[in-house]
């Protein structure tokens, strides 16, 4: 039945068969699939049969209310029109309500929107910003409907909303669902951002099929988020202290988790995101910095908190590289000081046969990340008494930049004892000879960035002997060096020696007992 959908995602027959199967598996997903079958069916007699099925499921308490699609409009009438038309082309009327909040546009946006008879229009006489405008739209929507917050610089492809709703209703505790795209952070981009709209639509047609490809996330990028109404009623509206925008989606994801629900990225729901139309670069940098501070204050998180590192998963492979591909299935992996676990959650999706664990020293972060499904994350105060102390792991990862030099011996001793007989210890350390450590001195400054508290590669070399650890291999991470810096680096090389690894910023040692 799923093969029929893959062969022709625009034919009702595959959805009709699949919906019959789902009636005994997931009644709400059955309702959504019959609704999609009705959308594509042109046969009047079959349409009556499908509608009868929908009525029957509704009687059995399986009906899924429509999604109120809340879109903000601020100038860029062409973008808004293109977005609305894509919704009309790809979704059944019964599946959606379109709510447009115009934030006091100065072009012909309002004139166009007033002519649309299938939308709920709210005309602001001021710019309420993104979170404020979204809240106005939510309040204007049907109070029974789910909420789909959608940027106006998006284009829905065939079945984008259908597969997104199917993902949201896969489990009761799924509270919010996001889509994959061509332009977003948080590892939500799955295709390069240089194709034509028609090429993206063709990609979306092939991607938006009924496959269960769901990834747990700490947060979802706010350009397209579908939220269950019951979850919205519990979690509440967007926090308007983040106006005019940025970080309100980070905040909402954390609130969803703290309320006992999951944020899921639906990998088989692709939406085109044109992006980059709302903010000037320098303005956005300042805004993000200010809102990052607000987020830290709200959750009482330590001063070096950066959501792009703690909450997003863009850096999942920076530490692990391709080494996980060599690990046997059904292995256990532990990351020490995993922060909130964004990397762990993404890697758990990429490698479902590996069991992922994380230790976090921040009580505030661990309070949130312990709710994250798919990984096992716990707080620890002392590595010698950590919650996983008497478990054995096939791979343990430690980023030494997160511990002090005088703690290194204790960490290595404990983690070595936690390795399985064939386990590996991956230790990341900074390279003392990296050119940025010496560049300030070359420029006449009195101090370099070297510190007596930082664990450098030479410290790992010394501790390997003390703890009887052996090197299996190295992974080198090179710094980004611009062309105009190369002559200066050559000068540094003449001082520190020809053999200095001045381009290597850090090294990951793969150790074994």
- Whether residue 307 lies inside any domain: the answer is no
Of 43, 59, 75, which residue is a domain's last?
Answer: 59
Are 275 and 377 within one domain? Answer: no
Both tokens assigned to 14: 């595959």
SS3 at position 358: strand
Whole-model pTM: value is 0.92
- Whether residue 248 lies inside any domain: the answer is yes
Are 397 and 250 within one domain? Answer: no
pLDDT digits (tens, 9 = 90+) for 241-266: 999 988 999 999 999 999 999 999 99
Are 171 and 254 within one domain? Answer: yes
* Strand 146-150 relative to strand 67-73, pairing: parallel
Are 50 and 74 within one domain? Answer: no
For residues 20 and 38, give the distance between their C-alpha atoms in angstroms, rounded to a whole number: 13
- Whether residue 104 lies inside any domain: the answer is yes
Q: How would you write 178-220 as a 3-class SS string? A: EEEECCCCCCCECCCCCCCHHHHHHHHHHHCCCCCCEEEECCC
Are 265 and 321 within one domain? Answer: no
Are 380 and 492 within one domain? Answer: yes
Range of the domain at 195: 67-299
Q: Find the CATH number of the domain harbouring 475.
A: 3.40.50.150
Q: Structural domain tally of the chain?
A: 3
Cβ 165 vs Cβ 98: under 8 Å: no
- Whether residue 29 lies inside any domain: the answer is yes
pLDDT digits (tens, 9 = 90+) for 303-342: 667 777 778 776 555 567 677 877 777 899 999 998 889 9
The pair phi, psi for residue 2, each rounded to 5°, is -70, -30
Burial of 454 (0-12, 13-18, 19+ CB in 10 A): middle
Are 239 and 386 within one domain? Answer: no
- Whether residue 308 lies inside any domain: the answer is no
Are 332 and 464 within one domain? Answer: yes
Exposure of 313 in the CB half-sphere (CA atoms within 13 A): 23
**What residue has token string 């947060």?**
219
pLDDT digits (tens, 9 = 90+) for 50-106: 999 999 999 999 999 999 999 999 999 999 999 999 999 999 999 999 999 999 999
SS3 at position 327: coil
- Whether residue 174 lies inside any domain: the answer is yes
SS3 at position 276: coil
Are 233 and 165 within one domain? Answer: yes
| Residue 386: C-alpha distances to residues 255, 337, 406, 417, 418 (Å) | 27, 11, 18, 13, 11
- Whether residue 113 lies inside any domain: the answer is yes
Are 6 and 93 within one domain? Answer: no
Are 215 and 360 within one domain? Answer: no
Are 160 and 287 within one domain? Answer: yes
Q: Find the CATH number of the domain harbouring 90.
A: 3.90.550.10
């Amino acid at each position: 039945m799923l093969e029929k959908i893959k062969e022709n995602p625009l034919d009702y027959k595959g959805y009709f068969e699949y919906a019959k199967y789902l009636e005994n598996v997931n009644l709400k997903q059955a309702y959504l699939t019959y609704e999609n079958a009705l959308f594509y069916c042109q046969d009047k007699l079959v349409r009556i049969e499908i509608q009868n099925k929908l009525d029957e499921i509704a009687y059995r308490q399986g009906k899924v209310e429509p999604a109120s699609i809340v879109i903000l409009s601020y100038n860029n009438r062409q973008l808004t029109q293109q977005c609305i038309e894509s919704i009309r082309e790809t979704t059944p009327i019964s599946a959606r309500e379109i709510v447009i909040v115009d934030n006091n546009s100065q072009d012909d946006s309002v004139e166009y929107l007033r002519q649309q008879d299938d939308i709920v229009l709210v005309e602001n006489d001021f710019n309420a910003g993104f979170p404020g405008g979204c809240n106005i739209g939510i309040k204007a929507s049907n109070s029974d409907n789910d909420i789909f917050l959608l940027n106006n610089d998006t284009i829905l492809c065939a079945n984008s909303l259908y597969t997104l709703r199917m993902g949201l209703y896969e489990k009761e505790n799924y509270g919010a669902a996001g889509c994959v795209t061509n332009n977003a952070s948080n590892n939500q981009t799955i295709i390069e951002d240089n194709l034509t709209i028609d090429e993206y639509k063709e990609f979306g047609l092939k991607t938006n099929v009924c496959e269960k490809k769901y990834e747990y996330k700490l947060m979802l990028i706010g350009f397209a988020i579908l939220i269950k109404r019951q979850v919205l009623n519990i979690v509440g509206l967007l926090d308007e202290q983040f106006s005019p925008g940025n970080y309100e989606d980070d905040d909402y994801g954390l609130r969803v988790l703290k309320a006992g629900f999951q944020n899921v990225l639906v990998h088989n729901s692709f939406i085109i995101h044109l992006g980059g139309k709302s903010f000037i670069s320098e303005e956005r940098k300042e805004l993000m910095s200010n809102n990052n501070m607000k987020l830290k204050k709200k959750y009482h998180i330590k001063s070096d908190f950066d959501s792009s590192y703690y909450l997003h998963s863009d850096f999942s492979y920076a530490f692990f590289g391709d080494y996980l591909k060599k690990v046997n299935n059904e292995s256990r992996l532990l990351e020490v000081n995993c922060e909130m676990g964004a990397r762990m959650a993404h890697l758990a999706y990429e490698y479902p046969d590996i069991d992922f664990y994380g230790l976090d020293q921040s009580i505030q972060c661990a309070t949130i990340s312990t709710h994250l499904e798919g990984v096992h994350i716990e707080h620890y105060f002392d590595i010698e008494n950590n919650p996983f102390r008497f478990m054995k792991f096939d791979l343990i990862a430690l980023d030494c930049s997160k511990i002090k030099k005088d703690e290194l011996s204790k960490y290595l001793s404990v983690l070595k004892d936690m390795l399985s007989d064939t386990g590996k210890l991956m230790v990341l350390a900074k390279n003392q000879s990296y050119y940025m450590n010496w560049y300030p001195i070359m420029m006449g400054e009195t101090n370099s960035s070297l510190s007596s508290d930082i664990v450098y590669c030479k410290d790992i070399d010394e501790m390997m002997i003390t703890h009887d650890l052996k090197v299996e291999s190295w992974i080198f991470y090179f710094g980004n060096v611009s062309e105009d810096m190369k002559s200066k680096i050559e000068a540094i090389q003449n001082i520190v020696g020809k053999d200095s690894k001045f381009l290597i910023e850090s090294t990951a040692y793969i150790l074994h007992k």
